Amino acid sequence: MNTPIRRLAFVLLAVLGLIVLDLTYLQVIAGPRYRDDLRNPRLAASRSSTERGPIVSREGIVLAESTAEPGSVQTFERFYPEGPLYGHAVGYTSLLFGNAGLESAYSRDLSSDSDLTMSGIIDALLGREQGAQGIRLTLAHAVQQSAQQALEGRTGAVVALEPATGEVLALYSSPAFDPAVLLGESAVAGDALAADPTNPLLDRTIDQILAPGSAFKVITTAAALESGAANPDSRYADPLALELPGSTAVIRNADREPCGDGTDVTLATAFRRSCNTVFGQIGLDIGAETIGNTAEAFGLNSEISFDLPVVPSVFPTVSLIGDPPATAQSAIGQRDVQATPLQMAMIAATVANDGVVMRPYLVSEWFDRDLNILAQANPVELRRAVSPGTAAVLAELMIDVVDAGTGQAAGVDGAAVGGKTGTAQIPGADPHAWFIGFATLEDRSVAVAVVVENGGGGGTVAAPIARSVMQAWLSS
């Protein structure tokens, strides 16, 4: 073989090798990603002709199921018997609008589609489950219903967690939507939902961050306690207004009065009465970095490991360093501090769990069509946020808020209930009403976060909602 032909052969072999490598990558490595991409037309076609496994609540109530419809364009039709009650959490699978919620996150598990791509063949050879699986959720029906009823006619969210395990007992966003309207071959109803100014498709539990207001004082207090800068008996000046250094701005209490008699108050009193002036001063004393480190220990400034994507909550430590006025305002949960209701519920749950952060989770079991359990989720400790001693002090301070402070409307008869109210000021609008807390009765515990957007005072608006939700779990 002469040199030119030999060179041409080498080039052709090299090109062929690259083609083989590219095809192997597309089929084996990238295959699952492209297969599950909602832009894949094969996915849309297969979705209408394959059965999907059921999604059930903690108690086994059917939340999503597929039913054969021989006379329909769709061989299998998806039904959502509980409608808006679980709309955001369960989500939907739609020919026109794709997948959302758990229907999207666990689409491969729920689908019975026989996949003849190389990656599907490899799954089969390795014995991986190919049939439609069902999933059982941690959501408790009575607790979810309580959240829905309490938020009716309001814009906001409720999250309830089991503190020791991280199980999500309620995940409700209002206004809600019925997944059924997104099914079928007409886009009219779905387009109307997308254009609705109240934004019912937005999952406010995890997809939106808001200023937490005074509910954030749990973090500021934890930072002061954990750093040794304060204890419940530490005394602070009680001015009519806290003047911020290097600024003409001041911080005032909600009623524009001193927290006590105008001389000084203890940290315990300031926490019970939610004194902005004291917590602004604590922010000045301990600084942005100390508060930021504690906030991050509780989960802010990082992605939450969860069944669904969660917008990270924010404490802007770097931008606050060297800016005392902004630090003081951030210490009371204002300025650029923002959090999801899920994150705020995790803060309350961590206090109730002796300072240990648990990974929140929504799916507890996977099962086959014969109801045999294929896999189970287990509680996962993410990290320790604060020492057991600090957590115990925080819990006592929060219990005092419900027993004798701004959170009395959250009290549940016979239960030990702790909490923190928040009334987040919003320029040009009514404040967001917050309550975060926990309750324990005999062998049951629950942690909650409630936010009502532009709802008013946390103690009068959000705390009663929290009481209803906590009571639903404790009495179930």
- E-strand ranges in 19-106 read 55-56, 62-68, 76-79, 92-94, 98-100
Q: Looking up tokens 């099962």, which residue turns up? A: 367
Q: How far is CA 48 from the centre of its chain?
A: 31
pLDDT at 116: 43
Q: Reduced to 3 DSSP states, what percent helix, strand and coil does the chain have, rounded to the nearest 5?
A: 40, 20, 35
Give the three-class secondary structure for 450: strand
Is the pLDDT at 119 greater than 50? The verdict is no
Select from 61, 241, 149 the least CA-distant residue to 450: 149
Q: Looking up tokens 């009193």, which residue turns up? A: 269
Q: Looking up tokens 């019912």, which residue turns up? A: 200
pTM: 0.87
Reported confidence tier of residue 113, pLDDT bands at 50, 70, 90: low
For the residues of 175-219, what is the DSSP string, one character each? S---GGGG-SS--HHHHHHHH-TT-TTS-TTTS--B--GGGGHHH
Q: Decide if 214 is catalytic.
A: yes
pLDDT at 435: 99
Catalytic residue among 214, 234, 364, 445: 214
Interval 10-45: pLDDT, tens: 767 766 767 767 666 656 566 555 555 544 545 545
Reported confidence tier of residue 427, pLDDT bands at 50, 70, 90: very high
More confident: 125 or 315: 315
Averaged pLDDT for residues 297-308: 98
Beta bridge partners of 38: none
Least confidently predicted of 124-128, 344-348, 431-435, 458-462: 124-128
Interval 262-299: pLDDT, tens: 899 999 999 999 999 999 999 999 999 999 999 999 99
Q: Which amino acid is at 163?
A: P
Q: Looking up tokens 């052709």, which residue turns up? A: 12
Domains of the chain: 213-363+378-475 (3.40.710.10)
Residue 315: CB atoms within 10 Å: 23
Say how far apart CA 234 and CA 38 lie, in whole Å.
Answer: 57
Give the three-class secondary structure for 144: helix
Is the pLDDT at 250 greater than 80? The verdict is yes
Averaged pLDDT for residues 223-236: 98
Interval 142-200: pLDDT, tens: 999 999 999 999 999 999 999 999 999 999 999 999 999 998 777 888 889 889 999 99
